A and B are shown apart, each in its own frame.
Chain A
């Protein structure tokens, strides 16, 4: 059982990663706020669950998902799938439709499983009193990551400059911000930052580096980066877009109802 033996070092490294945060929490709770925890046993148990959970999660991902994800990214971007002639007479972006499809599908799927997004979605549903649905938010974010990563792959294939895309995305976000309801904007901005953590980053980064390495004229060092940036900006757009459409539909339904009544 390889997986069980790699569990222990992962637990240790998770503890090391989390140690500074726990230190800060304990220091301020004990030295500054000087208050007793209301239910210390439960909180400590919960923290142990978080640490164990992350360790299991990471070991499982390394065992099951990352090797396949990386092999798949390599195979899909390799010559056999794309066709041998494309390397000889320049790069045609249309040869890579399978890569875009895979990028979108894997971006969507990894985002649905992203633990920090689940956390923010639970919080948002809780705070909004159910107006924002946790599942709806996660779907909107996942669609955003899918679009972003697919477009990011298109950018690597065509070799167009990254700042153009990101700046255009910023402009769209700014326009949407002024057309959306004030209550959804902060949550939409936050969902951009949480999409890219434990699950999505390794798979998406491997895809970008593999793609940049296999296309003639692209450097993995310069063109391989940027997919994560796409995956962080596009969810803001889809969440705001979803909110704009939802409120528009709501309004329309209300006007129809009032006409009927």
Chain B
């Protein structure tokens, strides 16, 4: 229990910061509700309790982030750098990307929507079974593509390749595929890039990248450490577009 009480002191400080982080939302909602729409708040009590939960939750998350997620990411990066096994590192990179994405709620939602779009357009049969198997396939395609993106990104850190070549190459691929992909899938595909990076994964992946770039001689953590998240949000767009063309 000792560790928990020790984390409570930074909690109080963080609560004040979280309040500041949420101030813009409160101001925007209140302004539009009172001044523009001129309506009273429905269930004001619920709203106040809910906001208190959000403030506490954000403070807990940030404290946990600094005492667990960042250290774990750095620790693993350092461990792999010391061990020096490329296979182990790349296997880990793939598992982290795949594992983080396959259960992501936002992805599950967007895969179901993609299945609706596909069945409406007549690409797949209009039955629940066809839709759910299509949605599962989209999820697996995206999860594999995120795993592959983290592998590529880690490999890039080791080699010191400039990130902009990979990203610009990816953009060109997106543009090329857009011309051939069915119109209905384009919106879903573009959006799928934004939903794959969840709140727990981002800090871990950022700490892993920066940790690797710090442990490897000749790499700069600013130049080589960042970029994993960017790759992980680009590959799903490419893969969903490609998947839409195949089916």
B67 touches A123 (CB 8 A): no
Binary A-proximity of B221-238 (CB < 8 A = 1, otherwise 0): 111111111101100000
Number of residues on chain B facing chain A (CB within 8 A): 111
Taking the closest CB of chain B, its distance from the CB of A48, in whole angstroms, is 7
* CB of B152 within 8 Å of the partner chain: no
* CB of A206 within 8 Å of the partner chain: no
B220 touches A183 (CB 8 A): yes
Which secondary structure dominates chain B's binding surface?
helix
Taking the closest CB of chain A, its distance from the CB of B39, in whole angstroms, is 8
Q: Which chain A positions have C-beta within 8 A of B32?
A: 72, 76, 102, 105
* CB of A2 within 8 Å of the partner chain: yes
* CB of B145 within 8 Å of the partner chain: no
Q: Which of A37-83 contact B (CB under 8 A)?
A: 37-39, 41-65, 67-69, 71-72, 75-76, 81
A183 touches B230 (CB 8 A): no
Q: Which chain A positions have C-beta within 8 A of B201?
A: 21
Alpha-carbon distance A106/B33, docked complex (angstroms):
12
A-B contact pairs, 15 of them (CB 8 A): A21-B204, A46-B65, A46-B67, A46-B71, A49-B67, A57-B57, A68-B33, A105-B31, A106-B25, A108-B28, A119-B199, A190-B230, A195-B194, A221-B113, A226-B191
Q: Which 9 residue pairs are nearest across A and B when measured between Cβ atoms? A: A46-B68, A64-B50, A225-B187, A60-B53, A53-B60, A56-B57, A57-B57, A49-B64, A63-B50
Task: Please list the residues of chain B having a beta carbon within 8 angstroms of any beta carbon in chain A.
Answer: 2-4, 6-7, 21-22, 24-25, 27-29, 31-33, 36-37, 39, 41-42, 46-72, 75-76, 79-80, 83, 85, 88, 92, 95-96, 99-100, 102-106, 113, 116-117, 120, 162-164, 167-168, 171, 174-175, 178, 183-184, 186-188, 190-191, 193-195, 197-204, 206-207, 210, 220-230, 232-233
